Every structure is written in C-alpha cells, then in structure tokens.
Structure 1
Amino acid sequence: MPMDGKQIKHLNQQVRELRHATAKGQVFKQLDRLAGDLIEQTPRHPRTPIATVEDDAAFYDELRQMYEKLQDDQLDQVSDVWLLSLLDHFKVDDPAIRLNGCLMIFNALLANDLLTNDQLRLSFHYLAQNDILLGHIDEPKNRAVFGRATALSALASLLYADRAGYFFLQAYEVDRLVDLVAMILVMEKDTRGFVGEQGWAHMYAELANVLGELSQREELVRGDKVCLMALLLANYSRLTTPLIMGENEQLADYLVNLMNQHQVYRRYFLLALRNWRLRLRASRPQNAGNWHQIFNYRRLMQCLLMVNDLPEQIGKVILEQDDQNE
C-alpha cells in the first residue's frame, strides 16, 4: 500500500523538525547523517494503480483554440474551470498534450499576464498538493513521475513570477512548498530523463529549477536553504540509477548560486562532500547500482568545476579529492 495520510503527516512532521533544528543551528555537523537516515528509513511500497485523466476531445479542441488565440494575440482571459482542467492535464502521458500543449500554454498565460492574482494562487494551491507532488513517489518508477515533474516545472514558473513582480504568494504558502519539496527529496528516486513516446520526465531537472527559485526567496532563513541542500545531496548520493540527461548541469548551477550567497552554504557543502567521499572510499562496488553512485558523483563534480563562478575553495577541494583517487 502507498503512503497514507497519516504516514505523510508523520513525514511532514519529521521534515519540519529537521528544518527547525537546522535553523536553530542545533544539527549542522550532524545534518548530513540525519538527512541520510531520514531518506533510508522512509519506507518504500509496491506499485499501485494510477488514476488516469479522461481522454477529453472537447478539451483538446479548446486547447488548440487557446493556442491559436495566443498566437493571434486575441486571448484576454481564461475561466477558473478551464484553468483547473489545464492543470489537471499535466498528468497525461502524451507529451504533445502535457508539455507542448498544457505546460506551454500555462507558461504563455503567465508571460502574457493573462492570469489574475486569484488564478495564480489557485494554480499554486492546486499544484502544491500531496496527491500531485507526492503521488506514487514511494513506489517503483511509474508514469506518475510525469505529473510530478510537470507540476514542479509550473511551480518554478509561478515562484519566478511572484519574485519578478506579481507578489501573489504569502509566506505560509512558500513555507508549505518548502515542506513538500523536502518530502520529495526524501522519497524521489526516479532519475529518468527522456522516456520514449512519453517524453521528458526529468524530475531532477525540475527539482533543480524549484530549488533554484527557493534559494532566491528572502523570506526563507538560511537554515531552510541549508536543509534543502542537505536533503538534495543526501538523496543524490544514494541514487543507484544514472543521471545523464543534463540534470547535473542544472543541479550544479543551483548549488553554485547558493554557495555564492553566504559562507554557511560553502561550509555545509564541504562537510557533506567530505562525508560523501568517505562513504565512497569505504564502499566495495558489487553491482550496477554501486557503480552508478560513483559515476553520478563524478558527473556532478565535473559539472561543478565547469561553472564559472564556483567558489575557488570548493574547486580546490574537489580537485584535491579527485587527485587523491587517481
């Protein structure tokens, strides 16, 4: 059985306790271990059926009409009902509908200032739901990842829109999203990039986008940002499948931008990096998953070294560690 409401509530409580302890400076040196323990101890579940979105020919016709109106600059508003239907179709398998249709039109509505502040908040609250962002996340890889990733992509756009001048989000709404992203980082394991006829999953690329936006939020204390970084690194270092479709470049950009904000992020990254290297040195690769952990590490370090404004101190440590393992 997948995680029920009680289990999700318990995980949310654990995440909040970790965030608060980090913000108070109580667990800095232990944070890497605590984040890893939380990831390893959160249970996985067998695959369960995934609810499908009904194939709605009328909606698809309207989607095409909306696109044509946008192209001709003839669209001035959309209804709440249609907007919710658009967001609901983020879950469909067909990338022509999910990505080239719904997500593209949603971003166009944002870019052209065609959503009211109420509709922006409606979109945010719809997407930032447990059922959408955590749906089937604790199960073996499945097609629910497409809905999770597309929702994250749209949330990153909404966060940027709010930061760029729309100012529709309240602090408690951003705080709730931080909890959800933290829970995703505890449970996510689907590293697939492009998936044949279903198009892009790219969950870790979308996580990088959302984490990058959250790192720019002034209402988040440094402890929140450190905690999110800690969970990302703990998650990444435990992946047993490869990230090879551009995710590492985006994750490296997020990490470097964050580390350049304040020395506390550089300090934590170095601490986590040292622990990560110790775990790798102590390991004895026995299977493909073990080797993927090693090569994922190398890919991320290489991407970090390629970012122009990587702090010099970080670059030296990465190169020194690589030299020691030649």
Structure 2
Amino acid sequence: MAELEDLQQKMIRLRHKTREGEIFQSLGESIAELVGHLDLVPATSVILPKNDDTVLTYMQMHGQQLPDDDIPSENLSDESMITDDVLMAIAEQLANPVPKYRDNGAFVFLSDMIQKNLISEKQMSWLTDYFVSDEQLFGHIFERANDGIYRRSFSVLILSLLLFIQRTKKSFLTDKQMSKIINQVALYAILERDTRGFIGTNGWAHAFTHIGNVVAEIMMMPKLVRADKLFVLASMLAGYRELKQPLMMGETERLVEVVIYAANAHRLYCDYVLLTLKLWRKDLVTRQSIATEANWHQLYNRTRFFHAIILSGEQNVPKMIYDYVEQTKGYLT
C-alpha cells in the first residue's frame, strides 16, 4: 500500500534525524503530523484462520508434557523440538478471534515453548521476521475496528516476548532485524487506532497494553543507542496523543509504567517526557471549544495519563515530572 510505504519512509527519516541530534523538542509534533489527518475508512473483509482443531489438540497434548523449567541448549534433542510447519500453523492461530485457539491456545503454547528453550534460535529469528512484517502488523490498520486487530495485537505481544529472550537469555537477532523492529514498532504505535480491550466473547485484544510491553522491552535493551529508544518512546506518546477513542481497560496505566521506567533510566527520556506533558497540558488549557466526541476522548485520555502518574506515587516518579503533574492537576478535572 502506497500510503503505508510513504509513512514508513517518513518515519525512517525522522529516526535518522533523531540519531543525528537534529530533532528533539519537535519530535512528537513531527510524528503526530504524519497521522493527525488520517481518518479510519470502512472495514473490509478480514481473512481469518480456520478453527484448526488438529492444531488445538496438538497444543493441548504437548502443553501438558512441557517441562517446568528451561531446557539447557545442550540437552535439546530433535524429538523435543517443534517442526517449522507446526510452528507456523500455531502462529497463524494468533489471528483467530476465538480465544481458545488464540489466547488460551496459540499464545500460551508459544510463550511456553519460547521461554523454555524448546524452539531453536533459527526458528525464533524467522518468527521475529514473520511477526514484524507489514502483513502481520499493519493488516486492516487504516480501517474501523474489525477482526484484524487480533493478528496485529498478538504479533506485537509475541514480539515483546522474543525481545525479552534476546535481552535476557540469548542473542539471536541481527542488527538489521533490530533496526527493522525499531522502525515497525514505532510506526505501529502511531497507526493503531483500535482501542478495544476485552471484546465480547472473543476475549482480549488489548493492543495498547501490548504496545506498552514491546516498548518496555526496547527501552530495556542494553545495546540500543539512546536515540532509537527515544524515537520509539516518542512514537508511543505521539500515538497516544492522537487517539480519538477511549482507553478504559488498564492500557493507560501500562503505558505510564513504561514512561516512568524510561524517565527514571536516563535524564534524556525524563526531559522528553516532561516536555511532552507540558505540550499536552497546553493542548488542554488552550483548546477554545471541544465540539466532537473524538475531541473529548483525546482530552480524557490525556487526563487519565496525568492521573496515572500521580497514582504511581511520588517516590516512584522523577521529581521534576511528579511536581509538574501535581502542580497542574487542577486543570485536568
């Protein structure tokens, strides 16, 4: 899609400017300008995976046999490894709206397999390429809420898990792969507009909680340069700022956790977060009239963000941020 490719290139240029130190204060505004004009288009038909009971039975049977602890790499046998074909069939179930195949099935099974060292580094590498692809992260993303959310949201969730393994256990990703993850996650964070948490009988979508998870892993990655971390953090905040739908099921609190962690980690991020909050407060107090439902949702999302910072506790938040939010909370009611 030409629009997606254009946005990808513009974000890559902004990332380069961030790395070169050419942009800081206006980074959030520059990112927001890329998507502020976008309106969601009507939903189209979503191609969903079939309810694969064979795969579900496989996951249930083998899930019961998984060890309680990680298996050392030297103890792995070919028989204990999952085949590529089966792994892909399970991964595809993450796009299934039915929770017994997706959430309780594929996600739980893949999470156990990855964390217990039961898939190879090569498999984790191609899983990363699969979940970070345009098809997984951006399918139906310009449309009004539809079942495409499950593929996008759970791709991000598995990416966060793979990054956790990369950070804490074994380095299996190349620099090129990490660079693509930075680009794609940043773009996803500003494009996702489906704010639904728990959806009827289909269970959790929770895209913005999953965004918080993957951004948290990026912020904790020891070998990434600060400019790349700042770029992803700024993208997450810019995407939140532009939301025209409410976040009501704990997503804001998760994003605030990530922001506070970043602000405590380095003065660069702390300064940027404080700058962002000042710009948000300026939006709130200078807006002459709020005429639409979307405008009201934007206002209350930001209000909830400020309140979540206060509820985090003075002892947990950098003083300059906590003092600012505390001093301005009267404008947020």
Structure 2 length-normalised TM: 0.91
Choose which of 246, 249, 271 in structure 1 pairs with 2:253. Answer: 249
Q: In the alignment, is residue 92 of structure 1 matched against residue 99 of structure 2?
A: no
Partner of 1:108: 112
Task: Quote how far apart the aligned CAs of 1:133 are.
Answer: 0.8
What is the letter of the counterpart of residue 273 of structure 1?
A: L
> Structure 1 counterpart of 2:5, which letter?
K
Counterpart of 2:307 (choices 302, 305, 308) is 302
Q: CA deviation at 1:71?
A: 6.9
Counterpart amino acid of 1:260? N
**Equivalents in 2 of 1:295, 1:243: separation in Å?**
9
- Summarize the Cα distance change of 1:88–1:226 in structure 2 as closer, same or farther, 3 Å threshold: same
* Root-mean-square deviation (Å): 1.9
SS at match of 2:215: helix
8 Å Cα contact 2:131/2:137 also seen in 1? yes
Residue 153 (1) aligns with residue 160 (2): no
1:282-324 Cα distance to aligned partner (Å, 9 max, x none): 2222233222222211211121223342101100001111135
Aligned to 1:321: 328
Provide TM-score, normalisation by structure 1.
0.93
Quickly say closer, same or farther: Cα 1:72–1:172, change in 2 above 3 A: closer
CA displacement at 1:9 relative to structure 2: 2.3
Q: 1:224 to 1:41 in 2, by over 3 A?
A: farther
Q: What is the CA–CA distance in structure 1 between the aligned matches of 2:38 and 2:180, rounded to whole Å?
A: 20
Q: Partner letter of residue 281 of structure 2?
A: R
Q: CA contact under 8 A between 2:17 and 2:23: conserved in structure 1?
A: yes
Shift of 1:251: 0.5
| CA shift for structure 1 position 72 | 9.0
In structure 1, the partner of 2:201 is 197
Distance across 1 between alignment mates of 2:153 and 2:146: 12
1:183 correspondence with 2:187: yes
Relative contact order (alpha carbons < 8 A, sep ≥ 6): 1 or 2 greater? 1
CA distance in 1: counterparts of 2:68 and 2:10, whole angstroms: 50
Q: Any stretches of 5+ residues in structure 1 without a counterpart?
A: none
Number of aligned residues: 322
Match of 2:128 among 120, 124, 128: 124
Q: Deviations over 1:159-215 (max 9, x none)?
A: 001111221111111110111111112211111100011100100000000000001
SS in 2 for 1:315: helix
* Aligned-partner Cα distance in 2 for 1:71–1:240: 45
Question: Contact conserved, 1:191 with 1:241, CA < 8 A, in 2?
Answer: yes
Query: Aligned partners of 2:182 and 2:97: how far apart in 1?
Result: 27
From 281, 290, 298, the counterpart of 1:285: 290
